[in-house]
Amino acid sequence: MPRKGPQATNSQVGVTRSELGKLSYGTSSKRVGKDGGTPMGHCCLSLQPAEDPVLSPSGHLYSREAVYSYMLAKKEELQRQRAVWEQQQRAEGAGAAAAASNAQAAEAAEFVAMEGKVTGATEGVLKRKRTEADDESERKKALVAHFRRGVDDESYEDKRASIKRSAWWLPEFLPEQSGPARVAEPPKRPPSPITGRPLKLKDLVPVRFTADAEVKAGVGGAKGRLICAVSKKQLGTAPCVCIAKSGEVMLKSVFEELAQPSMTCPVTGAKFKAKDVIQLRQEMSGFAGGGARDVSVYQPAMR
């Protein structure tokens, strides 16, 4: 007898839930370990322990020298792109002016041609002669088509055009660029190397990590593993926040319990606002995507 009630399985294939998971059916979840991403305190550019660490508004940590070098190189690149874009804009403006001048000249020529037309009677005679000539031409075409029936008289260009309509993906039928590549307007500020949003040097916040002197592991030249500035617990995969006013880094749970109620830094006593709180982000592997610890992968499910 099959099971009844809340413990009955909904599977229609006669397998349990754990067996379905092993068969790679349905959405599977996984918790990524610390080896799947950048360790706490490492620069997102150099992937090494951050020297003179600074934090971006998005929560990504950089070495000051690395991010400054990146922004300088990016600024020079944007300046070169803007010079090319401005030259393109000037060329397009000159082309538009020339096109407008040509259009005006064409309108003037058409007006002159209209004024020089013959009278209505002469036009009627010419129209009748043209009609008779067209009829004679159509009769000749019909006669030629009658004698050429069954003969392949399609030109080479017509055949290529027919093939192009049905096999447009062939390399020889791909469209060719008629002119120089159009350059899009470059952004005014260098983008963030991680998020791509505009980034300013004044937005970078200096970070003060607290190190445990009993364990040797360096960040910024200091010996010891990184620990919470308040609870002295090790900073690892747990969410962490930084208070921009003081630069202190602590566990998010400790911040919500001790600092958030009074909006005062528990280490320095400095007052801060909600906008001064930045949550640190650790970039993960491609599977995790963007700092997520618990990730899911969608797969077709058996019904």
User: Residue 288 — pLDDT band, cuts 50, 70, 90?
Assistant: very low
Tens-digit pLDDT profile for residues 45-83: 888 888 999 999 999 999 999 999 999 999 999 999 999
Report H helices in 148-272: 156-166, 252-254
Is residue 209 located within the same domain as residue 286?
yes
The single-letter code of the amino acid at 121 is A
Average pLDDT rounded to a whole number, residues 228-234:
89
C-alpha–C-alpha distance, residues 185 and 86, integer Å: 9
Residues 214 and 132 in one domain: no
- The tally of domains found in the chain comes to 2
Q: Give the span between the Cα atoms of 109 and 225, in whole angstroms.
A: 84
Residue 183 lies in a domain: no
* Whether pTM exceeds 0.85: no
Do 135 and 213 sit in the same domain of this protein?
no
Are residues 267 and 124 part of one domain?
Answer: no
CA distances from 293 to 66, 253, 281 (A): 27, 17, 11
> Range of 121's domain?
117-146
CA 274 to chain centre: 29
Tokens (6 digits) for 248: 């202190």
Instruction: Find the CATH number of the domain harbouring 213.
Output: 3.30.40.10
| 127 found inside a domain | yes
Residue 85 within any structural domain of the chain: no
Q: What is the pLDDT of residue 141?
A: 76
* 121 and 258 both lie in a single domain: no
Q: Is residue 254 part of a domain?
A: yes
User: Are both 140 and 276 inside the same structural domain?
Assistant: no
